[in-house]
Amino acid sequence: MRNKKGRNLQVNVELEGFVGTANGVWTAYRETLKVLRETSNVQLVRSSNKRADIVHFHSIGPKYIWAAHKNQGKTIVSAHVVPRSFVGSIVAGNLWKPLGTKYLRYVYNLADLVLAVSPFVKDTLYSIGVESPVKVLPNCVDTDKFYPDPDLGSEIRNDVNLKPDSKIVMAVGQLQPRKGLEDFLKVAERSKDYEFVWVGGHIYGPLSAASSQMDKMIENAPENVIFPGVIPYEKMSNYYNAADLFFLPSYQENFPFVILEAAACGLPIMLRDIPEYEAILSDNYLKGKSVEEFAENIKRSLENKRMYKDYRERSLEVAKQYDHDSYLENLLDHYYELYSEEISAKN
């Protein structure tokens, strides 16, 4: 992208190592770096010891806290976690939640600007006492990587022993109660005409909530369910293209990348009917509140060609709304606005 903003900004984008790579926070970090490399407005600073005009963190650990106190420029943090994110994700999440809420309030208040991934996250941060400015910057999807391509899917169908002519319902997410694995399996049990695939694993290891319970569910899963485990990011487009419909029955989400990636590959989206999705997806997805509703909507959408085509087109439109160009333009606006405030304060 050509420089339209004037002075180049020195920007350091950071992610702490404990986050790992098989999650949406890492994807957000990766996408931020990628879009910034596409513009001449920014000079990326790759050393934490060098001053930057903007330090943009995607994690909220000790390195972030140290940088927020040390950096002489402006500190931005992307908010990927809210108090409810602890429940059903890590061991004893309900017990951790009060302490976690205090910690989140503290770390987000260290930032000069907090970028919430959805309006729901913004409202939640203000409700727990965050006083730093909070603005909404939704996640984005790399449509150069994620796009409809049946040939990519054919390879995966062979690799994981999916029938060439079967209809595939896919979920992508960590194996934890919050993601709704139990309902996913119950829907599969009711939908023997289709094959179900859950991509993901226990990324928190022994800290993962109910990991033994999740493993038991997998051992006793219906025969039409396959668990290929954690898949490298570079192969995920292949997996989405192997599927016919994306189904994630999570009980709580902020704005997961997997929805955008599946949408960009042209998959109709089926989600639990929770308020977090409404402001970001409008009516462009199928929703349900129970196993019965999920199963019925999956059957209707897969068997009704007109309905299937309609939701496939809606998904592709969603992906266009959250592409790299839109994200970059909004991100630069936030960077330059914050930088201008610093210059004005010095003058």
Q: Given this model, what pLDDT does residue 87 score?
A: 46
Strands of the chain (E only): list them. Answer: 9-14, 42-44, 54-57, 74-79, 113-116, 134-136, 168-172, 195-199, 225-229, 245-248, 269-272, 286-288
Tokens 């119950």 -> residue = 186
More confident residue, 300 or 20: 300
The confidence score (pLDDT) of residue 324 equals 95
Burial of 16 per CB tally in 10 Å (0-12, 13-18, 19+): middle
Q: Determine contact, residues 239/121, Cβ cutoff 8 Å.
A: no
Predicted local confidence at residue 205, as pLDDT: 58
Amino acid present at 293: E
Q: How many residues does the chain have?
A: 347
The half-sphere exposure of 328 on its side-chain side, counting CA atoms within 13 A, is 21
Q: What confidence score (pLDDT) does residue 347 get?
A: 46
Buried b (16+ CB within 10 A) or exposed e, 199-214: bbbbbbeeebbbbeeb
- Band (pLDDT 50/70/90 cuts) for residue 302 is very high
Cα(54)–Cα(336) distance, integer angstroms: 9
Residues 227, 160: Cα–Cα separation, whole Å: 9
Mean pLDDT of 303-316: 98
Angle at 105 between CA 47 and CA 174, to 5 degrees: 75
Residue 294 has pLDDT above 50, yes or no: yes
Q: Which two tokens stand for residue 252?
A: 């709580």
Q: What is the pTM of this model?
A: 0.89
Sign of the dihedral defined by the CA atoms of residues 288, 289, 291, 296, in that order: negative
Share of the chain above pLDDT 90, in %: 65
Structural domains in the chain, CATH included, are 9-140+323-346 (3.40.50.2000), 150-321 (3.40.50.2000)
Q: Phi and psi (nearest 5°) for 13?
A: -105, 125
Taking residues 174-186, report their average pLDDT.
91
Residue 3 pLDDT greater than 90, yes or no = no
For 36-91, write each residue's pLDDT tens digit.
998 999 999 876 667 889 999 999 999 999 989 887 789 999 999 888 775 444 54
